[in-house]
Structure 1
Amino acid sequence: MAEVAAHAGVSTQTVSRVSNGLTNVEPATRDRVLASMQHLGYRPNRAARALRSGQYRNIGVIMFTLSSFGNVRTLESISIAAAQAGYSVTLIPVEEPTQEHVTKAFARLSEQSVDGVIIVIEAHFVNEADVELPVGIPVVVIDSGERPDYPVVDNDQAQGARLATEHLLELGHETVWHVAGPESSYSAARRASSWRSTLEAAGRDVPPVIRGDWTTASGYRAGIELRDRDDVTAVFAANDQMALGVLRAFHEVGRRVPDDTSVIGFDDMAESDSFWPPLTTIHQQFDVVGQTGMRMLIAEIEAETITPGTFTVPTSLVVRESTAPPLATR
């Protein structure tokens, strides 16, 4: 900093103001200091800043998997929101959803000097009483179960499943079959529970759940199981990738969608409108979830207090060409 000050012909205090983005510096002076910084290759020392301010301007993100569409979109929105607020992001993937691996993830983050942590792990284990989240550091949980002691942000899974099921019933289908996500998934459990309660509220039969694992391959296996049944006129897949697998299985035997069977997904992937037929689905606002989680975490950091509670982001139905009234009612 002293070298920059000497090169620019200003005080070290002026260099500090420019480095920290303060506005009480004349524009011409600021430009001269910035030019000197670039010429000398000066970079602010984040560790020194942290010692003065007590903040590292760094957010830790713990995430179970990067293979799911929702997690990738959420991480993208967290990163953008962090950059806009002047924070960097340190990502720590977790190999397995166990207390041991989560503890190790927090230990690694403590070495990175973070101001707060966002957890994007949707498995049920986050709800368990024996899972210890860190003490003395702000935490926000995204896409997980009830944590009354921490702020939680999630898309409204129950609303989305209800909208999907009601859409198919309103088209005239007697009932709706469900290809669910894995049993360990909080999101899958919420969607399956809402699907079931919506059918029961309408006085309809509840078919047995067909279990998948979010992958297209598991959706394909579910489609093979369903495609030879005449009583299957509507299928709600718990995500778009499994819906794609169902479509493939149906197409292989000439089962027409939506003429013979309507299919609806969940997520509204960017590619969903290019499926054949274009997929009716539930839109999730992953960008809003990530931005909201980041905003809540920064508020915790700056206020140095935790405000528990759950913030739910609405979902919406996107109707395309994969759903229609059953042929018998046309």
Structure 2
Amino acid sequence: MADVAKRAGVSSQTVSRVSNGHQNVDADTRDRVLAAMAAVGYRPNSAARALKTGRFRTIGVIMFTLSTFGNMRTLDAIATATAEAGYSITLMPLSHPTQGEVAGAFTRLSEQAVDGILIIIEAHILDRADISLPAGIPVVIVDSDAADPYTVVDTDQRQGARLATEHLLALGHPTVHHVAGPPTSFSSARRTEAWRASLEAVGAPVDEPLVGDWSAESGYRIGAQLAQNPAVTAIFAANDQMALGVLRALHEAGRPVPDDVSVVGFDDTEESSSYWPPLTTVHQDFSAVGRICVQRLLAEIEQNAAAAGTTIVPVRLVERASTAPFAARVATTP
């Protein structure tokens, strides 16, 4: 640090402020210090800095699965937001979202010295009475529920399901059949609840939802079953992948979309506009979820105080060619 200060013609305190990202240094001085750092090969010692400040500038992420579209997009946004804030992430994937696995992940992350932890576990676990998260470290929960002491960030799952169901009802369909996600998923449960409530609110018939596992294969299997029922004219699938399987099943059964059956998905994946026909779906802003949860966690870390409450990120319906008025279907039926 002394070598950098001498080369740049500044004090060691100024070098420290620049290396720690403080903003109270003018641009010309900052450029001189950064050039001097590069010239002498200076790199701040993160271990020494942590001993001095008590901060490791690292965030732990506990995640159940990396295979779902939403989790991957959220993790990508988290990585971007933490990097922009000068933090890094340590990822701790879980094979099973159990109390033992969660507690073990907390222990391992604590040993690796993180300032706070983000948890992305959509399964019903954090709301159970026997589940407790270790105290003494800031925690933000993503796409799940937890007890009052924790901050939760999620998209508006219920509003998305309402938009999808009400869109199909507004097109004149007498009811909407639902391809649900796994019952262990909070997102799936919220979407199913809102779909059911939307039908009940207008007195439409409510058939029991058929349960998939988020995969296109499960959507195809359920779609083949629904295709055999001529009363099925509108289907709301709980994610785009299952909707893709439904589209294939309907095509193979000779039930054209949207002339005979309308289909709506959920997520608005990058590929959904390239389905055939292009899929009407609910758009989730995963980037906003990732960014907000990092902001909430860093606020807790920097203020050295726990927070609580839930932040809900809005959704919107994206209308494409997979839905059409029920009257059009009747007109084209022999």
**TM range, normalised to the smaller chain?**
over 0.9
Aligned counterparts of 1:292 and 1:24: Cα–Cα separation in 2: 26
Determine helix, strand or coil for the equivalent of 1:310: strand
Aligned counterparts of 1:187 and 1:312: Cα–Cα separation in 2: 13
Shift of the 36–262 alpha-carbon distance from structure 1 to 2, 3 Å rule, reads same
Aligned counterparts of 2:141 and 2:246: Cα–Cα separation in 1: 32
Residue 329 (structure 1) shift: 6.6
Determine helix, strand or coil for the equivalent of 1:179: strand
Q: Which residue of the partner structure matches residue 142 of structure 2?
A: 142
Determine helix, strand or coil for the equivalent of 2:125: helix
8 Å contact 1:240–1:281 — kept in the other structure?
Answer: yes
Shift of the 186–24 alpha-carbon distance from structure 1 to 2, 3 Å rule, reads closer
Aligned counterparts of 1:300 and 1:170: Cα–Cα separation in 2: 44
Which shifted more, 236-245 or 47-56? Answer: 47-56
Q: Which residue of the partner structure matches residue 330 of structure 2?
A: 328
Aligned counterparts of 2:159 and 2:298: Cα–Cα separation in 1: 28
Long gaps (5+) in structure 2:
none
CA-to-aligned-CA distance 1:203-253 (integer Å, 9 cap, x gap): 111112111000111111111111111011010000000000101111122
Q: Which residue of the partner structure matches residue 121 of structure 1?
A: 121
Determine helix, strand or coil for the equivalent of 1:127: coil
Shift of the 242–25 alpha-carbon distance from structure 1 to 2, 3 Å rule, reads closer
Aligned counterparts of 1:26 and 1:108: Cα–Cα separation in 2: 41
Q: Which residue of the partner structure matches residue 195 of structure 1?
A: 195
Shift of the 299–329 alpha-carbon distance from structure 1 to 2, 3 Å rule, reads farther
Aligned counterparts of 1:22 and 1:307: Cα–Cα separation in 2: 25
Q: Which residue of the partner structure matches residue 243 of structure 2?
A: 243
1:229-240 → structure 2 map (5 Å cutoff): 229-240=229-240
8 Å contact 1:77–1:291 — kept in the other structure?
Answer: yes
Determine helix, strand or coil for the equivalent of 1:163: helix
8 Å contact 1:122–1:185 — kept in the other structure?
Answer: yes
Aligned counterparts of 2:202 and 2:319: Cα–Cα separation in 1: 21
Q: Which residue of the partner structure matches residue 112 of structure 1?
A: 112
Question: Residue 84 of structure 2 aligns to which amino acid in structure 1?
Answer: Q
Determine helix, strand or coil for the equivalent of 1:49: helix
TM-score, length basis structure 2:
0.93
1:285-296 → structure 2 map (5 Å cutoff): 285-296=285-296
Q: Which residue of the partner structure matches residue 176 of structure 1?
A: 176
Determine helix, strand or coil for the equivalent of 1:117: strand
Residue 254 (structure 1) shift: 2.0
8 Å contact 1:58–1:88 — kept in the other structure?
Answer: yes
Shift of the 166–146 alpha-carbon distance from structure 1 to 2, 3 Å rule, reads farther
In the alignment, is residue 35 of structure 1 matched against residue 35 of structure 2?
A: yes
Residue 95 (structure 1) shift: 1.1
Aligned counterparts of 1:179 and 1:282: Cα–Cα separation in 2: 15
Determine helix, strand or coil for the equivalent of 1:124: coil
8 Å contact 1:65–1:94 — kept in the other structure?
Answer: yes
In the alignment, is residue 99 of structure 1 matched against residue 99 of structure 2?
A: yes
Aligned counterparts of 2:25 and 2:286: Cα–Cα separation in 1: 39
TM-score, length basis structure 1:
0.95
8 Å contact 1:280–1:321 — kept in the other structure?
Answer: yes
Determine helix, strand or coil for the equivalent of 1:126: coil
Shift of the 191–15 alpha-carbon distance from structure 1 to 2, 3 Å rule, reads same
Shift of the 21–311 alpha-carbon distance from structure 1 to 2, 3 Å rule, reads closer
Determine helix, strand or coil for the equivalent of 2:310: strand
CA-to-aligned-CA distance 1:129-171 (integer Å, 9 cap, x gap): 1112120111110100253221111111111111111111110
Q: Which residue of the partner structure matches residue 57 of structure 1?
A: 57
Which shifted more, 144-153 or 89-98? Answer: 144-153
Aligned counterparts of 1:26 and 1:192: Cα–Cα separation in 2: 55
8 Å contact 2:224–2:253 — kept in the other structure?
Answer: no
Aligned counterparts of 2:171 and 2:320: Cα–Cα separation in 1: 13
Aligned counterparts of 1:33 and 1:245: Cα–Cα separation in 2: 57
Residue 86 (structure 1) shift: 1.9
Identity fraction in percent: 62
Residue 40 (structure 1) shift: 3.1
Question: Residue 289 of structure 2 aligns to which amino acid in structure 1?
Answer: V
Question: Residue 101 of structure 1 aligns to which amino acid in structure 2?
Answer: E
Shift of the 73–245 alpha-carbon distance from structure 1 to 2, 3 Å rule, reads same
CA-to-aligned-CA distance 1:66-107 (integer Å, 9 cap, x gap): 111111111111122212222211111111110111111111
Aligned counterparts of 1:23 and 1:144: Cα–Cα separation in 2: 36
Aligned counterparts of 1:109 and 1:271: Cα–Cα separation in 2: 35
- What is the number of residues matched between the two proteins? 330
* Structural RMSD (CA): 1.8
8 Å contact 1:172–1:329 — kept in the other structure?
Answer: no
Shift of the 81–29 alpha-carbon distance from structure 1 to 2, 3 Å rule, reads closer
Aligned counterparts of 1:125 and 1:37: Cα–Cα separation in 2: 48
